[in-house]
Amino acid sequence: MAQEKKLVEAITSMEEDFAQWYTDVVKKAELIEYSSVRGCMILRPNGYAIWENIQKQLDARFKETGVENVYMPMFIPESLLQREKDHVEGFAPEVAWVTYGGGQELTERLCVRPTSETLFCEMYANIVQSYRDLPKLYNQWCSVVRWEKTTRPFLRSTEFLWQEGHTVHATAEEAQERTEQMLNVYADFCEEVLAIPMIKGRKTDKEKFAGAEATYTIEAMMHDGKALQSGTSHNFGDGFARAFGIQYTDKDNQLKYVHQTSWGMSTRIIGAIIMVHGDNSGLVLPPKIAPVQVMVMPIAQHKEGVLEKAYELRERLATNFRVKVDDTDKSPGWKFSEQEMRGIPVRVEIGPKDIEANQAVVVRRDTREKITISLDALETKLSEILALMQREMLERARVHRDAHTYTALDYEEFKDAVANKPGFIKAMWCGEEACELKIKEDTTATSRCMPFEQEALSAHCVCCGKPAKTLVYWGKAY
């Protein structure tokens, strides 16, 4: 049993050092590998397969709303990036510049896209002429680059994978509707597939996207009480349209500017999956997103008929589940701890005695519960167990979040909460950036969002005591 110990001992416990626990898990579960490229990480098969599943299911949800995929160049000429003032100010400091190509110095620098608003705008200006051309609902899956000083796997890296949707509409109402629709697509996906409950709301002006009129966000709480911004949706109004000249002839023959949105979710969300569901044995993956849902574990596999039975179960289960057999020559204990480290939702143990009794032992990754089931009912029972696990993981995450959400009515209460109670703090705000800045300076907590579900906790701003305009979720954030 020395081996199993080694694998688990290799990760720091989360109570001891949450940041180190996180780093250990992404490495030991073989999600990522570091490279000699500063700030960039390699997504290994275990990590990339999670992203593939996210892509597949999120993409299907996009397409159901009429979205089409495209691919834009990865380079943006400097002059194009500079067309929208707020946008370039927001991004220029963190871009990478290509200055040489094909052995020659370029006459104009190209930045590697940090986001593609400017390219989409240029295209829309070319292809949109009439109201008949609207709306355009385009999205792309790609990687983007933002030069980061300090990086952490999935959470912050120089290059990361994401999708960016960019739409143009005839009216402001349609653009607002699409902005909220996509935020709901993200929130529903996270709750239903990733088992992560989200707070939906609007960002304060200070926290909104460079160039946006309004930014909406979904915010999740990690196991350590910190917030993770998990997806954003922006309404640009007609600001970019005016900067890039995206106009259409309306039915009334008038030339009008389009109204625009963009929305994105990135590999960051894999960090959320890890930090919401993981435990001291490693990753715990929600069944709906797990690349392998069922690991069949032959016990005493050298004995006659055991491996054959394991393969037979794999055959049977492959119709309904993503299933593998661990037929390596490692010890069962080692195999179990690998399966646990990788977060595979259930293992199905099958040994000589089980075969004799026409049964198998199913072990849930999240609760460690052992359930003996008849092989005749294997598919039905496994479906039930995985569905239950998916529901309970969401429920546990919700309970954890709610138990770590506090309210603060005055500034002393607020400062005490940030200092001593890791979690979200609900508090009223006057709407002035000065208070937001003061709170950040005093406590390091930032405004996460002005939630759609508003409450009137008090009539006064938690910071300055002046009349309050809105409820805000505050917290320390990744």
Task: Identify which of residues 42 and 437 has a Cβ nearer to a copy of itself in the complex.
Answer: 42
Task: Identify which of residues 48 and 478 has a Cβ nearer to a copy of itself in the complex.
Answer: 48
Task: Identify which of residues 87 and 476 has a Cβ nearer to a copy of itself in the complex.
Answer: 87
Tell me the CA distances in angstroms from 138 to 66, 85, 115, 120, one per residue in order. 9, 24, 14, 9
Spell out the long-range contacts of 41-44 with Cβ–Cβ below 8 A and sequence spacing 24 or more.
41/151, 41/153, 41/157, 43/161, 43/267
Taking CB under 8 A as the rule, which mask of x and - marks residues 149-178 in contact with a copy of itself? Answer: x--------xx-x-----------------
Tell me the CA distances in angstroms from 205 to 265, 310, 432, 450, 474, one per residue in order. 20, 57, 10, 11, 15
Candidates 100-108, 350-358, 392-400, 465-473; binding stretch for a copy of itself (CB under 8 A): 100-108
Q: How many residues bind a copy of itself (CB under 8 A)?
A: 54
Interaction with a copy of itself in 107-146: which residues (CB under 8 A)?
109-110, 112, 119, 122-123, 126-127, 138, 142-143, 145
The pair phi, psi for residue 4, each rounded to 5°, is -55, -45
**How are strands ordered across the β-sheet holding 159-169?**
68-69, 136-145, 159-169, 259-266, 227-237, 214-221, 199-202, 446-451, 470-475, 424-429, 405-407
**CB-based burial label for 173 (10 Å; 0-12, 13-18, 19+):** exposed
Amino acid (one-letter) located at 187: A
* Least distance CB 33 / a copy of itself (angstroms): 6
Question: Helix 378-403 to helix 306-317 angle, to the nearest 10 degrees?
Answer: 70
Task: Identify which of residues 113 and 448 has a Cβ nearer to a copy of itself in the complex.
Answer: 113
Candidates 18, 22, 48, 263; binder of a copy of itself (CB under 8 A) is 48
Q: Does 51 bind a copy of itself (CB under 8 A)?
A: yes
Candidates 32-40, 192-200, 312-320, 366-374; binding stretch for a copy of itself (CB under 8 A): 32-40
* Least distance CB 290 / a copy of itself (angstroms): 15
Q: Does 98 bind a copy of itself (CB under 8 A)?
A: yes
Q: Does 70 bind a copy of itself (CB under 8 A)?
A: yes
Structure token digits, residue 46: 């275990």
Structure token digits, residue 143: 């990687």
Candidates 96-104, 243-251, 258-266, 418-426; binding stretch for a copy of itself (CB under 8 A): 96-104
Spell out the long-range contacts of 373-381 with Cβ–Cβ below 8 A and sequence spacing 24 or more.
375/313, 378/313, 378/316, 378/317, 378/348, 379/316, 379/317, 379/319, 379/320
Candidates 92-100, 211-219, 257-265, 359-367; binding stretch for a copy of itself (CB under 8 A): 92-100
Q: Does 249 bind a copy of itself (CB under 8 A)?
A: no
> In 3-state terms, what secondary structure has residue 366?
coil
Q: Does 83 bind a copy of itself (CB under 8 A)?
A: no
What distance in Å separates the CA atoms of residue 364 and residue 361, rounded to the nearest whole number?
Answer: 10
Q: Does 33 bind a copy of itself (CB under 8 A)?
A: yes
Candidates 11, 50, 72, 168; binder of a copy of itself (CB under 8 A) is 72
Q: Could you count the other beta carbons within 10 Å of the beta carbon of residue 73?
A: 10
Interaction site with a copy of itself (CB under 8 A): 33, 35-37, 40-45, 48-49, 51-52, 68-77, 80, 93-103, 109-110, 112, 119, 122-123, 126-127, 138, 142-143, 145, 147-149, 158-159, 161
